[in-house]
């Protein structure tokens, strides 16, 4: 048995094409969505991520701009930059690229982003909206996973889902999205007893723990759908052999580059699972695609909210003092 590989690149291209169509429709009405990214200092990894986001914005037709404070920036200066973006009408989405320098209170800065422009979906108000199934912005990676499942006709309703990892960015919102889609969900973590046994109960298993190849075939029920959120760079020879023994292509890559990428799921799981996301090329491409989708969604929701508020303000007041 060999798992069907769930192509994240293909799904991401579809999502971006749909976002581009929405942008064209909105632009025809004079409402081009806008995204602002705050990138502090010169972190090479962050610069690569931000370039990808700006490039995707250009491809989709979203107006984008990059705010680049110096590494020495203070919390107050960042709060002022966020406040300025919150007020700007042409900016629909605000993204603060993490990590921030040690002297900056990252939680205060993220909390300062308007929930209506929080395209990362991290603001407590958006977390509450997700929990109570109200319209709002959802973290990009979990939202992308749900799109990948839907576009591959993988049924969620009524299935047993296990999420390994409880981070605010992936694990918790992933569990809420699956619950909202009528799955029965178990969330696992480092204190979970008999983790392999719990994982084997899953029809859908989502691994988001940040440990290279931790989920082995013993964790997976034959035929299950396995979603690998991890992205780990392996540089240790012994670790490489544990994961890729006998894989000539990977051995050549390791010899040439001194490293290989692997997810949280051991490659041997492909022999057991019914469907599996590859690393790279699985979940990764979906995150930026959903950022584009979230920016378009933020523009639409914000304008609908403004129109509703304007309608309420112009409604006549009755004799009883109510509109």
Parallel, antiparallel, or unpaired for β 275-276 and 4-5?
parallel
Catalytic residue among 16, 92, 97, 203: 97
Taken as a whole, the chain contains a residue count of 323
Q: Give the up-direction half-sphere exposure of residue 84: CA atoms within 13 A in the CB hemisphere.
A: 10
Question: Is residue 23 within 8 Å of 61, Cβ to Cβ?
Answer: yes
Catalytic residue among 92, 116, 120, 203: 120
Q: What is the distance between the alpha carbons of residues 283 and 12, in angstroms, rounded to a whole number?
A: 9
The residue written with tokens 């993490």 in the block is 98
120 is known as an active-site residue: yes
157 is known as an active-site residue: no
Q: What is the distance between the alpha carbons of residues 202 and 313, in angstroms, rounded to a whole number?
A: 51
Question: Which alpha helices (H) appear in the chain, and where do they start and end?
Answer: 8-28, 44-60, 75-87, 106-112, 124-131, 140-151, 171-180, 195-199, 237-244, 248-257, 284-314
Q: Which two tokens mark 105?
A: 């209170």
Catalytic residue among 53, 117, 172, 250: 53
Q: If we measure between CA atoms, which residue out of 147, 117, 203, 177 comes closest to residue 6?
A: 147
Active-site residue set: 53, 97, 120
């Amino acid at each position: 048995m060999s798992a069907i590989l769930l192509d994240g690149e293909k799904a991401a291209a579809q999502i971006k094409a749909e976002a581009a169509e929405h942008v064209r429709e909105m632009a025809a009405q004079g409402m081009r969505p806008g995204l602002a990214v705050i990138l502090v200092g010169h972190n090479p990894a962050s610069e690569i991520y931000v370039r990808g986001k700006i490039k995707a914005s250009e491809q989709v037709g979203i107006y984008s701009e990059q705010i680049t404070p110096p590494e020495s920036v203070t919390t107050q200066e960042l709060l002022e930059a966020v406040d300025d973006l919150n007020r700007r009408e042409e900016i629909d989405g605000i993204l603060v690229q993490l990590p921030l320098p040690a002297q900056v209170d990252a939680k205060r800065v993220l909390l300062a982003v308007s929930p209506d422009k929080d395209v990362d979906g991290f603001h407590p108000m958006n977390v509450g909206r997700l929990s109570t199934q109200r319209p709002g912005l959802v973290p990009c990676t979990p939202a992308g996973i749900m799109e990948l499942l839907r576009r591959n006709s993988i049924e969620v309703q009524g299935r047993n889902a296990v999420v390994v990892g409880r981070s605010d960015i992936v694990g918790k919102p992933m569990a809420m999205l699956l619950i909202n889609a009528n799955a029965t969900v178990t969330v696992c973590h480092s204190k979970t007893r008999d983790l392999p046994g719990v994982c084997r109960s899953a029809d859908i298993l989502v691994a988001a723990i940040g440990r290279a190849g931790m989920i082995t075939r013993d964790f997976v029920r034959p035929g299950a759908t396995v979603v690998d959120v991890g992205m780990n760079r392996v540089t240790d020879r012994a670790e490489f052999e544990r994961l890729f023994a006998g894989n000539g292509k990977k051995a050549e890559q390791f010899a040439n580059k001194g490293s290989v990428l692997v997810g949280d799921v051991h490659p041997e799981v492909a022999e057991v699972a019914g469907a599996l996301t590859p690393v790279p090329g699985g979940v990764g491409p979906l995150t930026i695609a959903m950022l584009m989708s979230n920016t378009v969604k933020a523009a639409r929701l914000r304008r609908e909210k403004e129109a509703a508020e304007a309608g309420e303000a112009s409604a006549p007041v009755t004799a009883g003092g109510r509109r």
